[in-house]
Structure 1
Amino acid sequence: MAALSFRLETTDPHSAARAGTITTDHGVIQTPIFMPVGTVGSVKAVTQQQLKHEVQAQIILGNTYHLYLRPGTEVLEAAGGLHRFNGWDRPILTDSGGYQVFSLAEKRKLTEEGALFQSHIDGSRHMFTPENVMDIQRSIGADIIMAFDECPPYPSEYAYARKSMELTHRWLDRCIKRLSETPDKYGYTQNLFPIVQGSTYKDLRKASSEYIASRNAAGNAIGGLSVGEPEEMMYEFTALCCENLPADKPRYLMGVGTPWNILEGIALGVDMFDCVMPTRNGRNGMLFTTQGVINIRNKKWASDFSAIDEGLSNETSRFYTKAYLRHLFVANEILALQIASMHNLNFYLWLVTEARKHIMAGDFNSWKNEMVPHLKQRL
C-alpha cells in the first residue's frame, strides 16, 4: 500500500488559506478538514453510521492513552485493529497520548526515557516511551500516528520550554527509529506526524518548526497551543509555525477549537483541526449555529418551534426544533445529548466544507472576515 500523500490544489490570494487533498489507504480527505474526536474509539453520543452518512466525517481521532488502558492492545490486535474493532472504514488518526499523560501532573514522573504515570481508571502504574508509544499505535492501526512529545503548560519559563522542546526532538528521533524497525501490522501504511513545541517563545517555535521540517515526515503538527494562552497569541504562533513548515505537507493544529479559531487557523495556513468542543459543549447545551451561539437550556427557546439551524441542510439540524431540544435537556433525556452532538458536528463539517469552497473560489478571506463576528454572536 502507498504512504500518505498530499496534493495542494489552490491557495487563497488574500491569505495563507489552502485547499488540498490527503490520500491514505483508507480513503481521501479534502482539506481544510475538522476531525471529530473519538477518544476511546467512539465519538460520544454519535454512531459510526451517523458520522459517515449524515455528518460526512472524512477522518476521526482515537487516543493512544485511553485505548491502551482499555480495551488494550491485545483486544485491538485480536480484532484486526481499531478500524475493524469499531467498524469505521475511513481514515483514523491517533494522538500519542502525550497530552493526556502530561495533564496528569501529580500522577506522572518525566525522565529522558519517557513518562511514568498512574492510570486515571485504577491507579495502576505504566511507562510510556517513544518506542512503546509507537508499538501501541501500530497495534491500534491508525492511518496517521503522532510522535510522543511533551506538551508544556502555559505559561512556561523559557528554560523549561527549551528543555521540553529539546526532549520532544530527541523523542521524535527515537519514534522515527522505532517505526523504521517495525512493520505495519494490518497490511496498510501508517504515517508519522511530528509535533512542533516551544511554548510561546518565537525563537523556540521557529527552531522546533525547522527541526520538525527537517525530518521530512508525511505531515506535521503544531502542538502546545490552545492551552490557556490568549487567542491572539495562539494565532501569532500558529502563523509562525506555518511559515516554517513545508508547504507540500499537511499541517495539523492540535486541539483547536471554536468555529472562529478554526476559520482564523485556516487563514494562517492550517489544513487539519480536532477538538472535543462540538460534542462536549453540545452535551452541555451549547449549540454552534450559522446564526451564532445558543444556550439551548435558556427559557427563551421554550416556545421557539423553528428548526435548530435552518442554515444547514442536514436532517438533524432541520428536523428537530429548538423548543423540543430544550425540553429534552430540561427533562434530562439522553436523546438531547445525541441531537446536540450531532448538530454541532454537522455544523463543524459544514463550516470547513464552506471554507474549502471559498478558498477554491478565491474569496475565502473576505468570507471569513464576515463570518467570524457572525459566529461569535450569543443568541
Structure 2
Amino acid sequence: MLQFDLITTDSASHARRARLTLNHGVVQTPIFMPVGTYGTVKGVMPRSLEEMGAQIILGNTFHLWMRPGLDVMRSFGGLHAFEQWDKPILTDSGGFQVWSLGEMRKITEEGVHFASPVNGDKLFMSPEVSMQIQTVLNSDIVMQLDECTPYETKGHITTEAEARQSMEMSLRWARRSQEEFARLQNPNALFGIVQGGMFEHLREESLQQLVAMDFPGYAIGGVSVGEPKEEMRRIMAHTPHRLPQDKPRYLMGVGTPEDLVEGVACGVDMFDCVMPTRNARNGTVFTRYGDLKIRNARHRSDHQPLDPSCTCYTCAGTSGVSWENGGRGGFSRAYLHHLDRCGEMLGPMLTTIHNLHYYLNLMQEIRTALEQACFGAFRTAFAEQRARGV
C-alpha cells in the first residue's frame, strides 16, 4: 500500500510538501530517514528515535540477509517486530553493498555472484532474490535491484558508453524486480531507481522508461558515489522534478544539511544518509551555525552545549528548552570532549542523538516553511546561519 497526497508546492522552486501513507503509518514529507543498516540505528534506542521525530527508518537487505538470515526474520514476521519499530521501514535492494565488494563479486545479466564477507560462502543476488529477501523483511518500501554506476573505478572515470550499459541493465532488472514483486504478492510498495551516471540524457532515458513501468515511487541512485560535489548537484538539479508529480521522489545516500535543503528545492521528497550517525561517531557535529569538531582542544573547558538553539536531549536535557530560550540543561562541550578523549561509548551516543535531531528538525522546519509559503526566505536564512560558523 502506498498513497501519496501532495499538500502544497513552492512557487519559486520545485519544493513541495506532501503526505505519504504506508502500511505501517504516515510519513510527512520532505523527510530524512535515519539509516539502520543491521536493524538498528547505531547508538540510538527506538524510543529515542520516536522522541526526536523519526517517521521512517532504513534497513539493509544485504546485511540482514547475511545476518541474522531469513529464517530468523521469518520467525518474527519481518523486520518491524525483530527490531521493535512499528513505524514505516524502507529497505535498499542490496545492490550497492554487492557492488562495493569489488573484486569479490562478478556482475552478469542474471545477477551478481559473490563471496559472503561474513564466512566466504558463494552466494548469488538477482532481482528475484532481492525481492524475495525484502518480502521476508516486510519493509513498507522495497527498492528494485539495480547496478550502482560508479563515478570512477581505480582512477578510470566512467564513460558514457559504460554508464549506458549499466543503466540499461538496471532497467531490465527493474522489470524483473517488478514481475517478481507481483508474483510474490507483496502488499507493500516497490520503487524504481533512475540511473545514468553523470549524463543527463541517460538519466532522462532511464526516467522515461521507469515511468512507463508505473512504479508507485521513484528514486535517484548513483549519486554520492565518489563524484565531485558540483557533479552531484548538477544531477540533483536535473532529475527529481522530471519525475511524476503524483508520486514520491527519493534521493539515495544524500547528504549534508546543505544537500538536503537544495534537494528539497529541486523537488526531492525523501533522503537518507549515514552522515549524521557516522560523523557523530567520529566527533563531528552538525549545528544551525555550522559544523563542530568536538575533539578540538578548544572545547576542553567550554560550558556551552553543542548548539545553544537546539532542544535535543544532548543539548537541552530532559527540559527540552534551549539555552537561547533560558534553559540550562544538557551536556557541555567540555563533557562531550572528555568522553571522546576517553573513548567512552556515551560520547558517540549523545552526539548521534544530537545529529539526528538536527537533521529531523531541519526537515520539520522545511515542512513548516513550505506550509507558510516562505521556503525561499528559509533557504536564504539557513545558508547564512550555516556559513556563520560555530
TM-score (structure 2 length as normaliser): 0.93
AA of the residue aligned to 2:231: M
Quick check: 108-117 or 229-238, which moved more?
229-238
Corresponding residue of 1:195? 193
Name the SS of the counterpart of 1:257 in structure 2. Answer: coil
Write the deviation string for residues 106-143 of structure 1: whole angstroms up to 9, x where unpaired. Answer: 11001010001122222222100000110000001100
**Contact residue 192 and residue 217 of structure 1 kept, 8 A:** yes
Higher relative contact order (CA 8 A, sep 6+): 1
Q: How much identity, in percent, do the aligned residues show?
A: 47
Corresponding residue of 1:327? 338
Residue 340 and residue 211 in structure 1: after superposition, are their counterparts in 2 closer, same or farther (change >3 A)?
same
2:319 aligned with 1:317, yes or no?
A: no
Match of 1:33 among 18, 31, 34: 31
AA of the residue aligned to 1:12: D
Deviation at 1:68, TM superposition (A): 0.3
Name the SS of the counterpart of 1:288 in structure 2. Answer: strand
2:333 aligned with 1:336, yes or no?
A: no
AA of the residue aligned to 1:179: F
Write the deviation string for residues 250-271 of structure 1: whole angstroms up to 9, x where unpaired. Answer: 1000000011011110010000
Name the SS of the counterpart of 1:93 in structure 2. Answer: strand
**Contact residue 82 and residue 140 of structure 1 kept, 8 A:** yes
AA of the residue aligned to 2:307: D
Corresponding residue of 1:164? 166
Structure 2 counterparts to residues 25-104 of structure 1, below 5 A? 25-53=23-51, 55-104=52-101
2:356 aligned with 1:345, yes or no?
A: yes
Match of 2:185 among 179, 183, 186: 183
Name the SS of the counterpart of 1:62 in structure 2. Answer: strand
Distance of 1:246 and 1:218 partners within structure 2: 10
Match of 2:175 among 169, 173, 176: 173
2:373 aligned with 1:362, yes or no?
A: yes
Corresponding residue of 2:323? none
**Contact residue 241 and residue 268 of structure 2 kept, 8 A:** no
Write the deviation string for residues 338-372 of structure 1: whole angstroms up to 9, x where unpaired. Answer: 00111100000000110111111111122112312
Deviation at 1:233, TM superposition (A): 2.0
Residue 100 and residue 373 in structure 1: after superposition, are their counterparts in 2 closer, same or farther (change >3 A)?
farther
Residue 377 and residue 157 in structure 1: after superposition, are their counterparts in 2 closer, same or farther (change >3 A)?
farther
AA of the residue aligned to 1:113: E
Match of 1:274 among 258, 272, 284: 272
Name the SS of the counterpart of 1:329 in structure 2. Answer: helix
Deviation at 1:373, TM superposition (A): 4.6
**Contact residue 142 and residue 189 of structure 2 kept, 8 A:** yes
Distance of 2:54 and 2:291 partners within structure 1: 22
Residue 171 and residue 94 in structure 1: after superposition, are their counterparts in 2 closer, same or farther (change >3 A)?
same
Distance of 2:384 and 2:121 partners within structure 1: 47
Corresponding residue of 1:294? 292
AA of the residue aligned to 2:334: A
Corresponding residue of 1:374? 385
Name the SS of the counterpart of 1:29 in structure 2. Answer: strand
Aligned length: 372
**Contact residue 253 and residue 272 of structure 1 kept, 8 A:** yes
Write the deviation string for residues 30-53 of structure 1: whole angstroms up to 9, x where unpaired. Answer: 000000000010000111111112
AA of the residue aligned to 2:28: Q
Corresponding residue of 2:327? none
Quick check: 355-364 or 162-171, which moved more?
355-364
Distance of 1:255 and 1:123 partners within structure 2: 27
Corresponding residue of 2:213? 215
**What is the root-mean-square deviation of aligned Cα atoms in Å?**
1.1
Distance of 1:376 and 1:222 partners within structure 2: 28
Distance of 1:366 and 1:227 partners within structure 2: 31
Corresponding residue of 1:148? 145
Distance of 2:387 and 2:259 partners within structure 1: 10
Structure 2 counterparts to residues 105-124 of structure 1, below 5 A? 105-124=102-121
2:256 aligned with 1:254, yes or no?
A: no
Corresponding residue of 1:225? 223
**Contact residue 12 and residue 360 of structure 1 kept, 8 A:** no
AA of the residue aligned to 2:129: N
Quick check: 317-326 or 41-50, which moved more?
317-326
**Contact residue 252 and residue 272 of structure 1 kept, 8 A:** yes
Structure 1 runs (4+) greater than 4 angstroms displaced: none
Distance of 1:149 and 1:12 partners within structure 2: 32
Corresponding residue of 2:154? none
Write the deviation string for residues 194-216 of structure 1: whole angstroms up to 9, x where unpaired. Answer: 10000011110111111111121
Deviation at 1:14, TM superposition (A): 1.2
Distance of 1:161 and 1:377 partners within structure 2: 39
Name the SS of the counterpart of 2:36 in structure 1. Answer: coil
Quick check: 366-375 or 222-231, which moved more?
366-375
**Contact residue 263 and residue 372 of structure 1 kept, 8 A:** no
Match of 1:125 among 122, 127, 144: 122
Corresponding residue of 2:321? none
AA of the residue aligned to 2:86: D
**Contact residue 45 and residue 337 of structure 1 kept, 8 A:** yes
**Contact residue 255 and residue 272 of structure 2 kept, 8 A:** yes
